[in-house]
Amino acid sequence: MGLLFRRSKKLGRGVRLNVTGRGVSASARKGPISVSSKGRVTIRLGKGFSFRLF
Percentage of the chain lying above the pLDDT 90 cut: 81
In angstroms, how far apart are the furthest CA atoms of the chain? 34
> pTM higher than 0.85 for the full model?
no
pLDDT-derived band at 34, boundaries 50, 70, 90: very high
Q: Where on the phi/psi map is residue 22: left (φ > 0), alpha (ψ -120 to 50), or beta? A: alpha
pLDDT-derived band at 1, boundaries 50, 70, 90: low
In this prediction, residues 36-50 reach a mean pLDDT of 93
In this prediction, residues 30-45 reach a mean pLDDT of 94
pLDDT digits (tens, 9 = 90+) for 13-30: 999 999 998 899 999 999
Backbone angles phi, psi at 15, to 5 degrees: -120, 135
